Structure 1
Amino acid sequence: MIIHRRSFTLGIGALGLAACARGGTVSSGPASIPDDLRPVPDAGYDAWVAAFRPRAVARGISQSTFDAAFRQAGFLPGVITRDRSQPESARSLEDYLSIAVSDERVAKGRAAYARHRALLSALEARYGVDATIITAVWGLESFYGERRGDIPVISATSTLAYDGRRGQFFESQLIAALRVLQNGDVSAQGMTGSWAGAMGHTQFIPTSYLAYAVDYNGDGRRDIWSDDPTDSLASTAAYLARSGWTRGTRWGAEVTGAAPGGTVIQPQAGGPRFAVTGNFRAIKRYNNSDSYAIGVGHLADRIGGGGPLRGTFPPDANGLTKADRVRLQQRLTARGFDTGGADGVLGNKSKAAIRAFQANIGQPATGVPSQALLQALG
């Protein structure tokens, strides 16, 4: 059975979009790895690895591959923490798009598209997938290769398999990762990715790598880890093509007039509506989320020169529009309360800034925004 790249939930773009939402970056050097994502002694983990070894060998993993893979692997407590602390509620489509199709991501996408135009055009010709769509996936998944992740995949997947919450799934990812090593595409040291094992410029999990990755440049390795994005972008095009992408058909479009033919969806009540095609469903094979697929499609349109959405979103549960939230962040920042930016998305830093301001003026530090709070900021 092929486990699709996003048949489990990592959030919205394992590194690129999630890291951007936190205002963080992922650097390439090991010194940037937080302490809780470095191996620590754990007797239970060691016992699990010893018990796993014969299971791996029985599934075709050589003892030499296994030994090389686990020579520097170990238990990563931070992986467990991150797995158990994923948000239970999804962002609204408005917030999602504020991050996924930010001005910075659009600008970087247009630059990346221009820089790799020859390659992307060749991929479109071979696989039939629009070059801007390939670029948009790259942008959402790793911020155009800037945030690929530097966590050892063997350590991450074995830690999650040992933990057991999704043990069967992550054991299958670990076996697949060992197969990748055995095939010689990358070394154990070079096989890095997100805390949950998603790898490379477009964040393939190991099973999807085995099923879909391609050696486009013909060097004998399906290399999605290096600075050169060629094999990663080709692998993404191949994935979408095999997921049912139809050449020459758009992903969809915002509905701005009379209802068009086809399937019309409105992911956020009161917000814009979208007419979507079968290619929208192909994008969802990459990540089974309407917001993700709209994010890819709309970002691709913007990279190709299109403008922002015409439709508007209703006020949030606190009665604030996006413009109100941006003003709130701007005014908090001007008062010395760091919100981490003014994008209209009220994340943890913005809520902490609200609590600090509320405490400063003698109000209960709830962290809940409101029109009254906006007015109090002047």
Structure 2
Amino acid sequence: ARHRGTLSALQDRYGVDAKIICAIWGLESFYGERRGAVPVISATSTLAFDGRRGRFFEQQLIAALRIVQNGDIPASRMTGSWAGAMGHTQFIPTSFLQFAVDYTGDGRRDIWSDDPTDALASAAAYLQRNGWQRGVTWGAESPNGSLQPQPGGPRFATTENFRVIKRYNNSDAYAIGVGHLSDRIGGAGPLRSAFPPDANGLTKADRITLQQRLTARGFDTQGADGVIGSNTETAIRAYQATRGLAVTGTPSQALLQSLR
């Protein structure tokens, strides 16, 4: 609501649905709350030296140096994720050079500041230049859709704009996440079909219960959202160690039962 004017203006200028722009912002940085604090020059230098994706990160390092040279941001303020994704919308340096825009007109393409305007405009420009079709939805849940990310789970009918979202992050799950979040921002309800248990045999409700019970036992998972990340894995390992179990950090139905 606070940024509705900016988002509406971006929709008019670039043709990209304002709700899609907002959803990308949400998925990429929790609406600017988690922009990353790792120095990008250091991160990309380290990853280029590491060698596993050396050529890619050499390209990112050179692009990051060019961004500093162009005057968009001082090196001291150029921060991002451990892999060099930057700002509100988590652009990698090469994408920044190609797609970032100075929407505010201050002479700098500043996707790092507290003001998200340039970052949101850059995301819109990215989608537009990759073929976004004005007035077309991303898709929708459909029992007859051909896209089913997980056997037994929801099916989706998708449009060309779904594939454009995947140019931002080449993942069906990511594009569905952006599309569905944009729908929810617009007032739509939840998906009608439920996702089946995950590879460990746990539903989302099971994972939330697991996190809640670990935390109640003194093994803090830093929240109960049903997402098994590093905090939950650390808590699981600590719990397993105290119980004399194999220390794997992996959730399971047996682990959940042991916490009941």
- Asked whether the two chains share a fold, i.e. TM above 0.5, the reply is yes
Three-state SS of the structure 2 residue aligned to 1:126 is helix
* Alignment-derived partner of residue 313 in structure 1: 195
Q: Which has the higher contact order (CA 8 A, sep 6+)?
A: 1
One-letter identity of the residue aligned with 2:147: I
Q: Does 1:195 align with 2:77?
A: no
- The one-letter code of the counterpart of 1:305 is G
Amino acid at match of 1:286: Y
Deviation at 1:195, TM superposition (A): 2.0
Q: Which residue of structure 2 lines up, in the alignment, with residue 290 of structure 1?
A: 172
CA RMSD of aligned residues (A): 2.1
Query: Counterpart of 1:299?
Result: 181
2:225 corresponds to 1:338: no
Task: Give the greater-gyration-radius structure (CA).
Answer: 1
Q: 2:159 aligns with which of 267, 277, 280?
A: 277
Instruction: Give TM-score scaled by structure 2 length.
Output: 0.91
2:166 partner amino acid = K
Moved more, 222-231 or 115-124: 222-231
1:238 aligns with 2:120: no
Q: 1:369 to 1:209 in 2, by over 3 A?
A: closer
* Distance apart, 1:309 and its partner CA: 1.2
Shift of 1:324: 2.2
1:162 aligns with 2:44: no
1:229 to 116, 121, 126: 116
For residues 310 and 348 of structure 1, the distance between their equivalents in structure 2, rounded to whole angstroms, comes to 30
Out of 23, 46, 54, the position equivalent to 1:136 is 23
Alpha-carbon shift at residue 367 of structure 1 (Å): 4.6
Tell me the CA shift for residue 253 of structure 1. 0.7
Residue of structure 1 in register with 2:208 after alignment: 326
**C-alpha distance in structure 2 between counterparts of 1:277 and 1:367, whole Å:** 39
Deviation at 1:133, TM superposition (A): 0.5
Deviations 1:28-58 (A, max 9, x none): xxxxxxxxxxxxxxxxxxxxxxxxxxxxxxx
Cα gap change, 1:372/1:116 in structure 2, threshold over 3 Å: closer, same or farther?
A: same
Give, in whole Å, the separation in 2 of the partners of 1:221 and 1:239.
Answer: 17
Deviation at 1:303, TM superposition (A): 1.3
DSSP 3-state at the match of 1:265: coil
* Structure 1 residue 265 corresponds to structure 2 residue 147: yes
In structure 2, the partner of 1:204 is: 91
Give the deviation of 1:369 after TM superposition: 4.1
**Pairing of 1:39-78 with structure 2 (within 5 A):** none
Question: Deviation of residue 316 (structure 1)?
Answer: 3.0
What SS is found at the alignment partner of 2:110? coil
Between the aligned partners of 2:54 and 2:245, the Cα distance in structure 1 is: 46
Tell me the amino acid that sits aligned with residue 190 of structure 1.
R
Paired position in structure 2 for 1:248? 135
TM-superposed deviation, 1:349: 3.5
Q: Is the deviation greater in 328-337 or in 202-211?
A: 328-337
User: What secondary structure does 2:153 align onto?
Assistant: coil
Against the structure 1 CA distance between its residues 365 and 286, is the aligned structure 2 distance closer, same or farther, given a 3 Å change threshold?
A: closer
Deviations 1:335-364 (A, max 9, x none): 333232222233343344444445555555
Q: Distance in 1 between matches of 2:101 and 2:90?
A: 14
The gaps in structure 2 that reach 5 residues or longer are none
Structure 1 length normalisation: TM-score?
0.64
Shift of the 194–350 alpha-carbon distance from structure 1 to 2, 3 Å rule, reads closer
Q: Tell me which residue corresponds to 1:147.
A: 34
Question: Gaps (5+ residues) in structure 1?
Answer: 1-113
Superposed CA deviations along residues 178-217 of structure 1, whole A, max 9, x for unmatched, are 2222222222222222222221111111111111111111
Q: Which residue of 2 aligns with 1:117?
A: 4
Q: 1:373/1:275 Cα in 2 relative to 1: closer, same or farther (>3 Å)?
A: same
